[in-house]
């Protein structure tokens, strides 16, 4: 009878560096390895908090920044509180046009992202904003066509998405 239900196998791990052990494997007493099967299914409720309205407006095809009523700085990525003067900000809609300031191209991404590669991460200064917004650049054609200082726009997802931040991305003008 199987005493451990999730046991997969027992095997002997080889010494990966036998050339370093002319007198014998010093780890030989711990090379018997038991492999078991574990399953993780993590599910939890995540609150988007003070950023919620930003994501809710993305569903309507609207891009919101926040504006500081004290110093006038416009934050996009939105900030509930102005990082410069600690004043509570107001929401402000931006037209969703901007300029590519910098970008990086990744050939590999973590599997959980479920995106095509190469993945282009764009740093964009949106018209009317004083800060930079980082998000994926899509439909750029050839990678040689991606030029910093080129115009980009916010594009909204037409299909249902797995996370609200995927409701938008950037595309060249």
Interface contacts to Zn ion, rule CB under 5 A: 68, 70-71, 82, 84-85, 87
- Minimum CB separation of residue 65 from Zn ion in Å reads 13
Is residue 140 within 8 A of residue 124, CB to CB? The reply is no
Return the DSSP state at 17: -
State both tokens at 122.
Answer: 């764009």
- Minimum CB separation of residue 127 from Zn ion in Å reads 20
Q: String of b and e for 149-170 (b: at least 16 CB within 10 Å)?
A: eeebbbbeeeeeeeebebbbbb
- Minimum CB separation of residue 50 from Zn ion in Å reads 16
Is residue 38 within 8 A of residue 63, CB to CB? The reply is no
Q: Is 33 or 71 the residue whose CB approaches Zn ion more closely?
A: 71
User: Using CB atoms within 10 A of its CB, is residue 38 exposed (0-12), middle (13-18) or buried (19+)?
Assistant: exposed
Q: Is 81 or 97 the residue whose CB approaches Zn ion more closely?
A: 81
Q: Is 69 or 151 the residue whose CB approaches Zn ion more closely?
A: 69
Q: Is 92 or 138 the residue whose CB approaches Zn ion more closely?
A: 92
Q: Residue 11 in 3-state DSSP?
A: strand
- Minimum CB separation of residue 85 from Zn ion in Å reads 3
- Minimum CB separation of residue 123 from Zn ion in Å reads 22
Q: Is 89 or 167 the residue whose CB approaches Zn ion more closely?
A: 89
Q: What Å distances lie between residue 85 and 68, 69, 82, 103, 110, CA to CA?
A: 8, 10, 6, 29, 36
* Cα distance between residue 97 and residue 63, in whole Å: 10
């Amino acid at each position: 009878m199987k005493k451990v239900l999730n046991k997969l196998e027992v095997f002997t791990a080889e010494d990966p560096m036998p050339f370093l052990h002319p007198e014998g494997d010093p780890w030989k007493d711990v090379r018997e390895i038991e492999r078991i099967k574990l399953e993780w299914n993590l599910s939890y409720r995540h609150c988007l908090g003070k950023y919620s309205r930003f994501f809710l407006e993305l569903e309507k095809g609207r891009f919101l920044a926040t504006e500081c009523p004290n110093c006038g700085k416009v934050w996009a990525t939105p900030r509930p509180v102005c990082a410069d003067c600690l004043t509570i900000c107001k929401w402000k809609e931006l037209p969703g046009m901007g300029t590519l300031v910098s970008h990086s191209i990744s050939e590999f991404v973590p599997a959980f992202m479920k995106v095509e590669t190469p993945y282009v991460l764009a740093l964009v200064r949106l018209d009317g904003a004083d800060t930079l917004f980082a998000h994926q650049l899509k439909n750029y054609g050839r990678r040689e066509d991606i030029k910093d200082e080129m115009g980009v726009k916010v594009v909204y997802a037409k299909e249902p998405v797995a996370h609200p931040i995927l409701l938008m991305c950037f595309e060249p003008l």
